[in-house]
């Protein structure tokens, strides 16, 4: 390949062609998802400085903190401005990410979906939407196509063809290789094993559809680092596991460790050192220090709940929510009972009555820390964070599904959707929601 690709960390690679160097998703230090994830290795300040000095653009695939690292942009905004680096991000309704970056004084180019944008005479990019917030980026340079799929869901031929219809066959494909969310609690190892195998099957699907010359499995070089979710590491895919499971497939897999370079004058690549590098880190996870959460007093939770209600009222039609809650097939906004084991409290959240009750003796649906519940109350993306970091337990069968239909509502608001009468005509979104719920139910079973 003429185009040069440098691996930096996790989901961050740098694609260099001529005068253009595009860095993706820079998360290089600190935890993510409310003390739920940590990197297998971190980049030093000097290393990050050298990376910034070598690039012209940064592409952010989506708002998740392992792709859009707020600490990174806050810490290095001055250097990014000095180097006149342009940030590339998908065009969204809320413009939350774009506004944050512009307040830091950074130059941002919003990308319309499915449209080609010339960055130079040699480089053209195209951004493609996937799901509620994910996106993929196609980089075309010197007659070569590099496709960064990162977290885009392409489990089936149909999923992959949605993007393939815009890209055609590619030369280099970068894709996630392990599961990255809660998978049913400690006892449901079968779901985790299934999810890990599903990622391997997804790579096979992507290879069949996009027919790349090379596939880089990446965006999974993390571990579940909280004392509440550490068990989730028991079935994750590692580079060695990927290689062993796909040894009979005609797929040209390459693995890279930080600062490995592929392409340019170094098109030949041996993955052995990278595989050893990552295997050592996966194998030593038990030696890592586990993260935790703060204890939040019940009085503070009551105040946060009032803020939660206010946001719910400002972003949705509460009359419609109450009406939907009476439809038996939906089971929408039913009272949810949560055990906060760190402060020895059990609370009930009743969105039909708009009440937060303590000292409950009802059957518990979920167990989590008081900090996790507070995080859900004060952030629209809080429930999404909980499902990704997995720092909770389902105590009653169906408790997780019940929580999606109640405290999960702000997640829709976070992605620009409001529950109102107009929402009822968004058939595609409603269909996808229930399809996801059914899929979760099947895996929990």
136 — pLDDT class (breaks 50, 70, 90): very high
User: Which has more pLDDT, 248 or 159?
Assistant: 159
Please state, rounded to an integer, the average pLDDT across all residues of the chain. 92
Same structural domain for residues 345 and 236? no
Q: Which domain holds residue 149?
A: 4-287
Q: Report which of 145, 149, 109 is spatially closest to residue 124, judged by C-alpha positions.
A: 145
Determine, yes or no, domain membership for 227: yes
Q: What's the farthest any 2 CA atoms get from each other in the chain?
A: 68
Q: How many CB atoms lie within 10 A of CB 58?
A: 25
The pair of structure tokens assigned to 216 is 């880089």
If one counts the domains in the chain, the total is: 2
Same structural domain for residues 168 and 261? yes
Final residue before a domain boundary, out of 263, 287, 311: 287
Same structural domain for residues 278 and 317? no
Antiparallel, parallel or unpaired: β 20-24 and 57-60: parallel
pLDDT at 250 over 80: yes
Determine, yes or no, domain membership for 293: no
- The pTM of the full predicted model, rounded to 2 decimals, is 0.93
| pLDDT tens-place string over residues 266-300 | 567 889 999 999 999 999 999 999 999 999 999 99
**Helices 70-82 and 45-53 meet at what angle, rounded to 10?**
50
| pLDDT tens-place string over residues 10-22 | 999 999 999 999 9
Same structural domain for residues 303 and 225? no
Same structural domain for residues 387 and 269? no
Same structural domain for residues 316 and 224? no
Q: Decide: residue 323, CB within 10 A, 0-12 exposed, 13-18 middle, 19+ buried.
A: exposed
Determine, yes or no, domain membership for 303: yes
Final residue before a domain boundary, out of 238, 257, 287: 287
pLDDT mean over 381-385: 93
Same structural domain for residues 280 and 313? no
Determine, yes or no, domain membership for 281: yes
Same structural domain for residues 267 and 305? no
83 — pLDDT class (breaks 50, 70, 90): very high
| pLDDT tens-place string over residues 43-66 | 999 999 999 999 999 999 999 999
Same structural domain for residues 231 and 333? no
Same structural domain for residues 229 and 259? yes
pLDDT at 434 over 90: no
Helix (H) or strand (E) holding 111: strand 107-111
């Amino acid at each position: 390949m003429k185009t040069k690709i440098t691996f930096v960390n996790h989901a961050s690679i740098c694609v260099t062609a001529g005068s253009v160097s595009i860095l993706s998703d820079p998360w290089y230090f600190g935890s993510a998802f409310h003390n739920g994830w940590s990197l297998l290795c971190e980049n030093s300040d000097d290393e990050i400085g050298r990376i910034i000095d070598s690039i012209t653009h940064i592409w952010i695939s989506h708002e998740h903190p392992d792709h859009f690292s707020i600490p990174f942009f806050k810490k290095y905004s001055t250097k990014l401005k000095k180097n006149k680096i342009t940030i590339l991000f998908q065009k969204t309704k809320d413009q939350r990410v774009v506004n944050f970056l512009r307040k830091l004084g950074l130059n941002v180019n919003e990308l319309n979906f499915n449209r080609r944008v010339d960055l130079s005479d040699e480089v053209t990019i195209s951004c493609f939407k996937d799901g509620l917030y994910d996106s993929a980026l196609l980089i075309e340079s010197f007659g070569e196509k590099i496709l960064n799929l990162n977290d885009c869901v392409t489990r089936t031929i149909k999923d992959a063809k949605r993007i393939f219809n815009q890209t055609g066959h590619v030369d280099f494909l970068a894709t996630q290789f392990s599961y990255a969310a809660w998978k049913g609690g400690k006892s449901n190892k079968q779901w985790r094993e299934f999810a890990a195998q599903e990622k391997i099957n997804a790579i096979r699907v992507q290879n069949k559809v996009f027919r790349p010359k090379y596939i880089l499995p990446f965006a999974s070089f993390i571990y579940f680092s909280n004392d509440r979710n550490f068990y989730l590491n028991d079935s994750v895919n590692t580079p060695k596991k990927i290689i062993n499971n796909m040894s009979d497939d005609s797929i040209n897999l390459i693995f890279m460790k930080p600062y490995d370079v592929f392409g340019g004058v170094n098109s030949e690549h041996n993955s052995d050192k990278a595989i050893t590098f990552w295997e050592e880190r996966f194998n030593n996870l038990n030696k890592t220090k586990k993260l935790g959460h703060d204890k939040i007093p019940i009085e503070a939770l009551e105040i946060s709940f009032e803020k939660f209600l206010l946001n719910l009222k400002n972003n949705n039609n509460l009359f419609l929510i109450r009406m939907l809650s009476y439809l038996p097939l939906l089971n929408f906004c039913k009272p949810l009972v949560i055990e906060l084991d760190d402060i020895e409290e059990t609370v009930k959240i009743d969105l039909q009555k708009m009440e937060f009750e303590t000292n409950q003796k009802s059957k518990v649906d979920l167990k989590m820390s008081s900090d996790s519940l507070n995080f859900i109350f004060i952030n629209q993306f809080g429930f999404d964070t909980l499902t990704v970091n997995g720092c909770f337990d389902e105590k009653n069968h169906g408790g997780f599904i019940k929580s999606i239909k109640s405290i999960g509502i702000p997640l829709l608001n976070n992605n620009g959707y409001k529950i109102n009468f107009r929402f009822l005509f968004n058939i595609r979104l409603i269909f996808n929601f229930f399809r996801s719920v059914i899929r979760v139910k099947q895996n929990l079973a």
